């Protein structure tokens, strides 16, 4: 969900260069999916939440979707392995709006895939809030599926298990920290710096393991103790909150990637794990209702550059290859301090800029939080100017702004120069994707 997407062919080149063996998409956009053809990369396509009602209502619609997307992409040479039916449909914030349609949509999709003779599994990626442990006994062994959806979850996991499909869960240690001010910071990481949790002979030194094994216990109690689990999303944002920064993100990924490469697993499920990192590239148009950090989950910046050193292969080297992109001219839009007679219009101008571009780095605890008043104004004007492809009309604001060729970045606050959007050069606008990919740390397929 980016104003300036990178050409999918370049993204795929980068994935191949980094030895990435699997990717997870959040739709079935042809622009992104077709770029994966012939690469050998295994793919999880997805049906967005707003289509679940449509698919649940009529099995023929699911058949048409599978035929148009899965069958067609397989014929192109895209190695489709899974179809995600929705994404976190049982989030409490949805107020139960998808509870009655998710399971029927899942069954219709798997039936369609089977009738087409495709060896592809339908799954439902779920947030970790579908299970929990009671507050008076917060240990994994006390975990079970949420009371309000318990019967439904038992039906879903039984159906998935019957079809040899995995449980896909999204686990976010960062959110544990974000949602609970008393949560121990070090329990989010993997260096053993926090007080451990003891549970039935098991020792937990980080929240990821504890959360994952709470799911294992929930599956045991639901009658499917050996069900395969895939972690569909895990990661750490780098901006938009006091705990969303490069330092913490790098600490999280350093520990997590070492854990994955060594095939440590969790106390209840030791060994290799299938885990997708969320996400690949920052998304400057994603909703910020859950928090300003939502636009900053990417391992890569908006222009496809690694935010910090990463070792996906486990060889101890910082060898991640970024994307190659073209930039707009090196110019910025900044506050024109000489327009003193127009200062009364500043609040409206800044509000307009930030309503149409991404000003989340200006928030409390974020990377540009330390700017001066004038710096904040310049940041807002510039990010709008760049989002509008440096159109000279986007750097006017009634005379309050001006264009400069002097880099306006200050300290740790980057005033970006936007890239040339692939959508403007390659495909019709109707194919603009809600596209972002998620990396899989699959040690067995990495170089």
Point out the residues that are catalytic. 88, 233
**First-to-last CA distance in the chain?**
30
CA torsion 361-364-370-376 (nearest 10°) is: 60
Q: How far apart are CA 214 and CA 208, in angstroms?
A: 10
Q: Is 310 helix (H, G, I), strand (E, B) or coil?
A: coil
Q: Which two tokens stand for residue 113?
A: 């895939």
Q: Is the CA virtual torsion 294, 10, 23, 208 positive or negative?
A: negative
CB 52 within 8 A of CB 33: no
Q: Residue 44: name the closest of 274, 223, 385 by CA.
A: 274
Q: How far apart are CA 203 and CA 354, in angstroms?
A: 46
Query: Helix 346-355 crosses helix 373-387 at what angle (to 10 degrees)?
Result: 40
Q: Is the CA virtual torsion 383, 372, 289, 349 positive or negative?
A: negative
Opening angle at CA 128, ends 147 and 439, nearest 5 = 160
């Amino acid at each position: 969900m980016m104003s300036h997407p990178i050409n999918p062919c370049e993204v795929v080149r980068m994935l191949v260069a980094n030895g990435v063996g699997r990717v997870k998409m959040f739709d079935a956009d042809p622009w992104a999916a077709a770029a994966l053809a012939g690469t050998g990369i295994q793919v999880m396509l997805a049906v967005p939440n707003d289509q679940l009602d449509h698919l649940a209502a009529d099995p023929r619609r699911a058949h048409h979707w599978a035929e148009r997307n899965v069958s067609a992409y397989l014929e192109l040479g895209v190695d489709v392995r899974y179809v995600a039916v929705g994404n976190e449909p049982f989030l409490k914030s949805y107020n139960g709006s998808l509870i009655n349609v998710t399971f029927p949509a899942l069954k219709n999709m798997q039936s369609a895939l089977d009738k087409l003779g495709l060896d592809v599994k339908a799954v439902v990626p779920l947030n970790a809030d579908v299970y929990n442990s009671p507050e008076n006994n917060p240990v994994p062994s006390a975990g079970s599926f949420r009371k309000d959806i318990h019967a439904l979850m038992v039906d879903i996991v039984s159906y998935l298990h019957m079809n040899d499909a995995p449980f896909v869960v999204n686990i976010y240690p960062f959110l544990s920290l974000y949602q609970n001010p008393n949560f121990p910071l070090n329990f989010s990481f993997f260096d053993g710096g926090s007080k451990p949790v003891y549970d039935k002979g098991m020792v937990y030194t980080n929240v990821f393991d504890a959360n994952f094994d709470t799911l294992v216990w929930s599956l045991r109690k639901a009658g499917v103790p050996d069900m395969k689990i895939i972690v569909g999303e895990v990661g750490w944002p780098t901006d938009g909150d006091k705990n969303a920064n490069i330092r913490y993100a790098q600490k999280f990924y350093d520990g997590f990637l070492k854990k994955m490469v060594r095939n440590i697993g969790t106390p209840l499920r030791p060994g290799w794990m299938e885990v997708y990192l969320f996400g690949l590239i920052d998304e400057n148009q994603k909703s910020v209702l859950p928090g300003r950090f939502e636009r900053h989950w990417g391992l890569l910046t908006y222009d496809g550059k690694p935010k910090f050193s990463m070792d996906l292969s486990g060889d101890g080297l910082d060898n991640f290859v970024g994307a190659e992109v073209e930039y707009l001219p090196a110019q910025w839009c900044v506050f024109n301090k000489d327009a003193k007679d127009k200062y009364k219009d500043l609040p409206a101008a800044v509000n307009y800029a930030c309503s149409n571009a991404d000003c989340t780095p200006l928030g409390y605890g974020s990377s540009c939080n330390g700017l001066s008043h004038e710096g904040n104004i310049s940041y807002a004007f510039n990010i709008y100017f760049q989002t509008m492809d440096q159109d000279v009309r986007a750097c006017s604001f009634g005379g309050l702004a001006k264009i400069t060729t002097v880099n306006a970045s200050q300290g740790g606050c980057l005033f970006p120069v936007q890239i040339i959007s692939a959508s403007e050069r390659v495909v019709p606008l109707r194919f603009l994707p809600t596209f972002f990919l998620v990396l899989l740390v699959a040690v067995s397929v990495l170089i």
